[in-house]
Structures are given as structure tokens and as C-alpha cells.
Chains A and B, each alone.
Chain A
Amino acid sequence: MDRREFLEAIAGLSALVPGLSLLPGSYQQAFAQGVHARARAAANLRTLSPQQDATVTCIAEILLPQTDTVGATAVGVNRFIDLLLTESMPEAYRDRFLEGLAAINARSQFLYGAPFISVRKEGQESLMRALDVHLPEPHPTPAEAAALAKEPITAEGGFALLKQLVVLAYFTSEPVAKELIKAPIIPGRYDGCVPA
């Protein structure tokens, strides 16, 4: 799937936004407000702004794209993340997550002169490869984790947080868990060594 197809695939949510960067500022803003309101209502988003949502949706789909099996967009990864941000995540986590998204866009702006969603696919992927390196330490001590959380979040840190949520949201979605993973709920026995 190329970027155009991808944008079409997610058009129903909020991905109309990227194309707007070609329009003059004031028009862009006026147009965007209407589009944003509609997109927001369509997706029932309560915390993510249309721009944030577009970033989440875009990165999620590149992480776990539609192939012969469903992708992140098709299972509504962005909606689940919005739910966690709105109802579940402590405010400090939520803010850190949103600051992380902003940091990703700032990096994109610095490198490509445009927010992430407006960058060409090759640029997006190359940025993601660069960000995909600061995955969380498997075992920070509580003191280390607390110290780390006090530092301003980087684009790498923001990407790591987003990746965690995207993976969770995708693999715990009903279509993926039920139709693709198909782990038996009641295995009935344990065998410690079977062919993989």
C-alpha cells in the first residue's frame, strides 16, 4: 500500500488533514476546524485532537499495516488509545504521552519541515527507524524509572510509549485475538515441548 492508499484507508477517521498543508493558512484553519469536528465526532475521540489522532493513526498503521490480515486502523487502535488517555491513564502519563507525540512532530518538523503525517512515506519510515531505538529498559529500578520520568520526553521516548499502546491495542482487539491469534481459552492440558 502506498501513502495515498493508506491515506484513503484512514480517510474516514481524520487523515484529511495532511493534504491541507498545501492550502493557504487561514483557509486551512477554517477548513480544518470543520473537518476536525466531523472527524472527531465520527471517531468519538475525547482526548486526542484531530492532529494528534492523525499522527497516532498514521504511525500505528505503519507499525502494524493492513496486509492479508487486518491492520491497526481497521481495528480502531486510535479509538482504544483515546479511551485509555481519557479514562484510564493517570493525568501525568497522559500528558507525557501527548508531549511525546508533539516531540515526534517536532523532530519531523526539524528534519522535513512538516508534521509527521505530511511527510512522504520514505521519510516517515526513516524517521520511525531512527526513533525505534529507545525501547524501555526491561528492568529499571523504581528509582531509575522515577528519575527518567522527570526528564522532558524525547521523540524516541514518545515513540516507545506510542508503540507499546499500539501493540496492546491491536493484539487485544477482538478481531485480532479471536480470528488471528486464536489461543485456546481452555487448553485442557499442558505440554512443555511441542513442535512450534
Chain B
Amino acid sequence: MSPPEPSSLEFDAIVVGSGISGGWAAKELTEKGLRTLVLEAGPPIVPARDYVEHVQAYSLPYRGYGNLRKLREQQPIQSLTGSCNEWSSKFFVNDAENPYHNDPDKPFAWIRGRHVGGRSIMWGRQVYRWSDLDFEANAREGLGVDWPLRYADIAPWYSYVEKFIGVSGHAEGLAHLPDGEFLPPMQLNCAELQVQEAMAKRWRRERLLTIGRCAILTRPHQGRAACHYCGPCERGCITHSYFSSIGSTLPAAAATGRLTLRPNSVVAQVMYDERTDRATGVRAVDAATMQTLEFRSRVIFLCASALESARILLNSKTARFPTGLANSSGELGRNLMDHPFGAGANGTLPGMEDRKTFGNRPNGIYVPRFRNVTDKHPQFVRGYGFQGGAARRDWRRGATTPGFGAEFKNALLNSLGPWRFGMGGWGECLPRSENSVALHPTLKDKWGIPALHIQCTWGPNELAILKDIQVTAAEILEAAGAKDIETFNDELPPGLCIHEMGTARMGRDPKTSVLNGWNQSHDVPNLFVTDGACMASSGNQNPSITYMALTARACDYAVEQLKRRDL
């Protein structure tokens, strides 16, 4: 079924993508007076029908085990991520319809959501500001290109975004992980408090533990209800208590009366006029009818995700841009990054057996980066932060605990396992030119759009970080008095952290970067890219809040330029 056709094919602005970044572009542009078309490749989401966070395992055919045969057939890549499960696999793409290619020895996991709201429905909701430790890193070390902005440029936009989306967290006063506009923090549990205290004793403020900073409401905010702690956010949230574009930015955009949202619109190309040297609109395929559609606008925002935005531009070749639109630098599709993760340590914290938690806190602990902050590590540059938490296992421990019989059953029914504390590191990834994407010569997606060939591997710096993560995680557990400490490294492929970024980087020099300091194409002034593609480095923080802040900032700039007729 096709959505109703927009009454016009001409708009002030077109936004490609309706997720974290696209939702923000839609809100900002419409609120600033632009008639804005948002094109979303996937279908609409109806929360009352599609959100399943309160559905219990026994109400599902496979009780959460999932139909693994179907998952392997239709979503072999998507199901590598734990949140693509029996409840929420519908929020992830069908891999057969959305192919890409990588060399077998260079696995890359591209995890995508194609529907209104994009990955803002299943995202991890962790939000951490960057600081100049991050923005200055490339320049300091002579790696990649220098960021064309500094913390002072983005700080007000972080505040602006945080005030709207609602971020709970605890202010720590760290210069390298700046505090934000926080709602009350969620509680640490008893075991996490014990680890926090032990760390403070051993490392003072060098390694500290704080509650995760997350885009989840701890009190009512902007007309949305506080979290009710049911737990599985990745299945949707009927009360919109965590930030998603469906629950927040898109309704704000719609309230202006200037938003046109067209789902099932797979954008294939940005159209460009050589005479005016401007982008004129986009060409899309109706996902249902396969009909080609053209929409025109004065300004275009690509917010389709780092790899999709790069793919669209690579697929928009013109005489002036034979390797892809806005690619005079040759950097389009290069410098792909993702955060190395999946390494850390677990252990048992003895005692506190008379205590437990109540409610399902959809958040964990955070240990801000402590490597290469003041000291200099001999093996690697940059650093990592830890995420994790403590919990007592319920009946699920029965699957891996020795024992059977009446006592075993009653223990699983009526008591909890010991406190287990575990955490994993999220490391920074360096920008490297050879980590890149290009259009595949023959492979196409279901809509006839050339698929990507992705070439991405961890470099020595990322591997050294993963190694160090295990060492320091074990040190922290040891300091906390944990027993049976076990380190792990799951050797996960790049992509699986779902923080892919960098494929149309910002920079000061048009010769070495795709976008300027306003997320504006150096080559095509009315073209902006504000998703993860714009990132000149990766930091080790979860990146979404930075995409949101950069998007709001770029919209402000674009509208000013439009008013001055400079675009």
C-alpha cells in the first residue's frame, strides 16, 4: 500500500532518513519555517501495534528462543546482535533484500533498521558528550584530519539536544567527559556501589564508576512519562520514556504543519545541476510499487546512516563528480570506523546475599576513559570506556549451574545467584583510509540500487586497546574483591557495535575532507550530511548524542544561509 502522495514534489528541504539524525533535521528545519519532506526507506511504525515490550515469553511461539531457522535465512547478519530477537527482529532489515559484500576474511556486520524511526527504536540509549580530548586528538597525533570544530562550538548544542530528549545521569565534573543537562540519575545497585567505593579507594578519580548517562526519563519530561522499568527498551516503548524520533522529534516536526513524511521511499541518488552547481533534489524508488520518484528542494540533508548516506552519494555520479557526488576530495566512503568492543571481564562479588534489586533498570554503569587522559600509554593512542553492571541471576543460571532435583528447582524458583559484576570496554577506532566502502560492480539490493562492498578491519591500535581492556577490567574487579574473575574477548567483527561512522568526514580542507565545519559539503553548498558519516574521529563514547547536536547545529546554519540566499 502506498502512502498518500505529497501534494507537491517541491519542498524547501528534503531529509533522507527518519532516525536519530533525520528526526532532528525534520524538527529543526520545520520549526525554522521550512516545508520539509522526510523520506524514509522503510514502512511506518504504529507503536500500539508494533511495540511489544510488555509481551511475555510465554505469549510468543518460541518463548524468546526465536525461530532460528528463519532468522538464519532472512537475518543472518542482523541476528548477530542480541537485540534482533523473537520480539524485535521486525525492527531489523531482511538481509536478503539488503545485501552487501565483504571479503570473507574481512567480516563486517552491518546492522540496520529500515522503518520510520530507524535505529532510534532499538538504540542503546547511552549518551556521552565529547570533549576537546576527542576533538583535538587527530590534530595532536597527526592522524586523519583535524576536526573543524571544538567543544566550545558544540557544547551549547549538546545542551539544546539534552534539554529536549531528556538525559538522566550523574554530574562528575570530569573535563574529558563533560556533564550535561541531567535529569536525576538512576540508582546504582548495592554491588555496583561496592565496586564504586573500591575503585575510589584504589584510583581516586583516575578510574571512577558512575551510573550510565542515558536518554531515558527518570521523571516526566516534555509531555512524556517517566520510565516504568519494564526493561527491554529495544522492543519499543509505548510511553516514549526513552528518546526515539517517533516519540519526540517527528511529532514536534509534525506539529509545525510543515512536515511531509513519506515512508517506503528508498532514496537512490541526489540530483545535481552542473550549471548552478547545486543539488536539486533526490531520486527515490517507491518500495512498494518500484516506481521511480523525483522530489526537489532548496536544501538536502542526508541522515540515512553513515553507510547509506555514503552509498547514495557514491551512486550519484555526474560529469563533475565521476566518483560520486561531493567527492572531489576522494575521501567519500573512506575512513570507516566502529568501536571495538566485546572484551572485558566478569566476576563474582561475595556477600550481600540478603539484598536484591527491584525493577528492570535499562541502563548500567559507566567507567569514563582513563587511558591517555593525563598519562601516555606505551602500546596505543586514545582509550576506552567501560559499560556493564552487577546483577544476581534468576532462573536462567539453571542452564549452566550444576544440580538437579527438588532442591535445584526450588533454588531457581525462590532464590537468586550470587552478585555477578561484569563490564566490557568500548574503544576508540582510528580513521584509516583503507577502511572503506565502494559500490559493488554487480550486486544490487531489492530496489535495484548498487550494494556496497565494505572493506574494514581492526588495526593494531584497536587490537591493543581490546587487549588492555581485559587487563584493566580484571584489575578493577580484583580491586573490588571479586572472585572467579574471568576475562573475555569475543573477537567481534567491526560493525557489530553499530557505531559505524566516518565515510564523509568533516574537515577544514576541501582536498582532504567531504564536509566542512557545518556538515556542509565543500563541493555542493546546499548538501548537508549529519549522520555518522560526518565523523572525523570516533571517540570512544556512544556517538548518537553527537550526531543529534551536529544535526541541530547544521540546521541552524543552513537556515541562516538560506535566509541570506547563500546556498
Question: Hey, which bits of chain A sit against chain B, CB under 8 A?
Answer: 62-65, 67, 69, 71, 80, 83-84, 87-91, 93, 125, 128, 132-133, 135-136, 138-139, 141-143, 163-164, 167-169, 171-174, 176-178, 180-181, 185-196
Contact = CB atoms under 8 A, between A and B. Distances in A.
A180 B414 CA distance: 9
Contacts of B70: 88
A111 to B, nearest CB: 18
A168 to B, nearest CB: 6
B361 A135 contact: no
B395 A186 contact: no
Given A88-B69, A172-B57, A190 B360 contact: yes
Contacts of A191: 187, 357-359
A171 B398 contact: yes
Contacts of B354: 195-196
B67 interface: yes
Contacts of B415: 196
CB-CB nearest 6 A-B residue pairs: A192-B189, A187-B359, A190-B359, A192-B187, A139-B488, A174-B58
A67 B230 contact: no
Contacts of B54: 185-186
B42 to A, nearest CB: 26
A173 B62 CA distance: 11
Nearest to A63: B404
A41 B72 CA distance: 30
Contacts of A139: 346, 486, 488, 490
Contact of B190 (A181, A186, A188, A193): A193
A62 B63 CA distance: 23
A82 B81 CA distance: 26
A189 B359 contact: yes
Interface of B: 54, 56-58, 61-70, 72, 186-190, 192-193, 227-230, 346, 353-361, 392, 394-396, 398-406, 408-410, 412-413, 415-416, 486, 488-491
A186 B67 contact: no
B442 to A, nearest CB: 29
A164 B396 CA distance: 9
B235 to A, nearest CB: 12
A63 B392 CA distance: 22
B404 A168 contact: no
B404 A62 contact: yes
Contacts of B398: 163, 167, 171
Contact of A87 (B69, B186, B190, B406): B69
9 contacts: A63-B404, A65-B405, A88-B69, A88-B70, A132-B404, A167-B398, A171-B412, A192-B190, A193-B193
A193 B489 CA distance: 31
A178 B68 contact: no
B72 A90 contact: yes
Given A83-B62, A84-B62, A142-B491, A135 B402 contact: yes
A181 B414 CA distance: 8
A39 B68 CA distance: 28
B82 to A, nearest CB: 14
A181 B346 contact: no
B357 A133 contact: no
B413 A180 contact: yes
Contacts of A169: 63
Given A188-B229, A193-B190, A168 B63 contact: yes
A90 B395 contact: no
A133 to B, nearest CB: 7
B56 A185 contact: yes
A22 B415 CA distance: 43
Contacts of A195: 354-356
A133 B487 CA distance: 21
B489 A168 contact: no
Contact of B228 (A87, A91, A187): A187
Contacts of B413: 69, 176, 180-181
A122 to B, nearest CB: 13
Contact of A164 (B58, B399, B403): B399
A141 B491 contact: yes
Contacts of B408: 63-64
Given A64-B408, A88-B69, A133 B402 contact: yes
A26 to B, nearest CB: 36
Contacts of A187: 228-230, 358-360
A162 B398 CA distance: 12
Contacts of B69: 87-91
A146 B360 CA distance: 33
Nearest to A128: B404
A163 B402 CA distance: 10
Nearest to B59: A174
Nearest to B406: A67
Contacts of B228: 186-188
Contacts of B360: 187, 190
A30 B404 CA distance: 35
Given A67-B410, A168-B65, 9 more contacts: A67-B409, A128-B404, A135-B399, A138-B486, A164-B399, A171-B412, A177-B57, A192-B188, A192-B193
A172 B229 contact: no
Contacts of B488: 138-139
A128 B405 CA distance: 11
A167 B486 CA distance: 24
Contacts of A194: 355-358
Contact of B187 (A69, A138, A180, A190): A190
A88 B62 contact: yes
A190 B357 contact: yes
A167 B62 contact: no
Contacts of A174: 58
Given A88-B65, A168-B399, A186-B54, A192 B72 contact: no
Given A185-B230, A196-B355, A89 B361 contact: no
A65 B409 CA distance: 8
A195 B415 CA distance: 12
Contact of A167 (B57, B392, B412, B489): B412
B556 to A, nearest CB: 37
B67 A64 contact: no
Given A188-B229, A192-B357, A136 B68 contact: no
A190 B358 contact: yes
A194 to B, nearest CB: 5
